[in-house]
Amino acid sequence: MEQHVLDLVKTMNTQLNRVYVWCCDGEIVQWYKDAGAQVTTSNIGFDLDPFYIFRLATFLKKEKIEIIHAHELKAVINALIAAKIAGVPVMVSHTHTPISTWKVAKFKRRINTVIYSFIVNLLANTEIALTESRRNIKIEEGISEFKLKVIPNALDTTKLDIPFDYKLNYRNEIRKKYNIPSNAFLFGNISRLTEEKGHEILVRAFITFLKYSIPDKEKIYLLIAGGGKLEEYIKTIVTHEGLEKRVFITGVFDATDLVKFYSAFDAFVFPSLAEGFGIVLIEAMYAELPIVCSDLEVFREVGGSAVFYFETSNQTDLAEKMLSLYQKKDLLEKLTNNARNRVEKLYTLEKFADSYSQLYTNLLETRK
């Protein structure tokens, strides 16, 4: 979501629009400022926060905002109410991963789904779905199909377009930092360490993978780039299995290191249990890495035939798919080229900008 908002800021600012962002305080504030947005930091204190609603409604009236685009459950509900009070003509809502697929208690999912769908149907002009399968799920959740618009996420490819010598230097830098041999084969993953990302499945699959009869097994490593609430738990599993020198978890890293990790990996593994789209999937595709990911419907939509799939949450199947990829590692150039071409065809920032510019323009014209 944070990256999606940044892409919106970049593209809308480039088109000479005035762009404002309301968000929590933190390092991403500077992202939005650097991209040209005027940023207000303001926390939502309660699920339905009258103080936040008042502050936002006052701001919307003062700045004569014409379009509000709210992201994720709590922000959507509070922002749509504020926008209605302020008389904002166009209101766009957007929860990236459908609520009914969240890894939370079933009762909580149900309550949140009902409330969200009611507010969106009542107040929003359009609800965004990132793919057709996400659209279908949102319809099942109760959102009117006439309010739904499919616009995929995009990739700012410039951040991954680097000269070969830079890539080689980054590869060496990361491997030296984590004491990984330059001639090792490195499986990689980039994502927050939270329940829905499936890191425990990945680590346990890697443990199973290492039990197979594999030449040069001692030269195969796993690096997980990211941090989060499950970081210590995953590290505990690694330590218990005695794999501290084979499995590395970076913790939260600087955004400038992203391209360094992709340069260091030989293959990418993405074992998510639930996703709205999967930005890192198209990043890995564009980086021309062989990929194994869970067979979520949304991943099959995004990746097509350019990646390998394993049965979601099945660590044994993941281990087998990792083995298959490793055994074919020297024969995958055509597959990785196809993956990059797919990103260039479907998920560019230019297509993203055109889609949102057309959506906003059409909604404004309809409201006049």
| Same domain flag for 162 and 307 | yes
Write down the pLDDT at residue 103: 81
Inform me whether the pLDDT recorded for 256 exceeds 90: no
Domain ranges, residue 362? 2-154+348-367
| Same domain flag for 200 and 296 | yes
Residue 187 · residue 198 · CB < 8 Å: no
Which residue in this structure is represented by tokens 């992201």?
71
Residue ranges of the alpha helices (H) in the chain?
2-14, 28-34, 50-63, 73-86, 106-123, 132-140, 164-177, 199-209, 231-240, 258-264, 279-286, 297-303, 315-327, 333-346, 349-367
| Same domain flag for 263 and 325 | yes
| Same domain flag for 197 and 116 | no
3-state SS, residue 268: strand
Residue 9 sits in a domain whose CATH number is 3.40.50.2000
Domains in the chain, number:
2
- Structure tokens, 162: 């680097």
Confidence category of residue 27, pLDDT binned at 50, 70, 90? confident
Does this model's pTM top 0.85? yes
| Same domain flag for 115 and 251 | no
3-state SS, residue 294: strand
Short-list 152, 162, 153, CA closest to 262: 162
Short-list 298, 318, 316, CA closest to 308: 318
Predicted confidence (pLDDT) per residue in 67-112, tens digit: 999 999 999 999 999 999 999 999 999 999 999 988 888 999 999 9
